[in-house]
Amino acid sequence: MKKYLIFLVLLTGFAVKAQNATQKTPIFQLRIYEIFENNKKEFNERFRDHAMRIMKKYNFKITSIYESKSDKKTEFVYFLEWPDEATMKKAWEDFRKDQEWIDIKKEYTAKYGDVLGNIEDRVLTKVDYSPN
């Protein structure tokens, strides 16, 4: 019985170690959209009321959203968290193919013109000394 108990304890320890070794560190994504003052309200409406709702279907985890202004332009900035890069790429692929999203983009463009300009996309991985 004692040997069996020791075996179970060791087996449990190895299982926990193996699980921790296979757990992936999440990645983060930084998205920066140039938006235009003349239809900023419409852009924010589209993102808040439509894009975020549709993104949720594809397990987008938006962690924070900001606006940045300079003399030259206004930017809409947001961060996403993903379990891994493959999941991120698949979610974006599915989101871009979503028929409701395609229709909403067409509708807004027809009504308000282009609501965003340049898009920047960066994948971020934490360094080992990053604060939590």
Residue 110 placed within a domain: yes
pLDDT at 118: 96
Per-residue pLDDT of the chain (132 residues; tens, 9 = 90+): 555 445 444 445 544 454 444 557 899 999 999 999 999 999 999 999 999 999 999 999 999 999 999 989 999 999 999 999 999 999 999 999 999 999 999 999 999 999 999 999 999 988 989 897
Residue 63 placed within a domain: yes
Closest CA to 55 of 106, 93, 86, 26: 93
pLDDT at 93: 98
DSSP state of 76: E
Q: Check: CB of residue 51 under 8 Å from CB of residue 33.
A: no
Please give the full DSSP string across 5-70, using - where no structure is assigned: HHHHHHHHHHHHHHHHHHPPPPEEEEEEEEE-GGGHHHHHHHIIIIIHHHHHHTT-EEEEEEEEE-
Q: Check: CB of residue 115 under 8 Å from CB of residue 42.
A: yes
- Count how many domains the chain has: 1
Residue 6 placed within a domain: no
Residue 10 placed within a domain: no
pLDDT at 6: 52
Residue 106 placed within a domain: yes
Residue 19 placed within a domain: no
CATH number at residue 91: 3.30.70.100
Q: Which domain holds residue 57?
A: 27-124
pLDDT at 12: 52
Length of the chain: 132
- Reported pTM: 0.79
Q: Check: CB of residue 78 under 8 Å from CB of residue 66.
A: yes
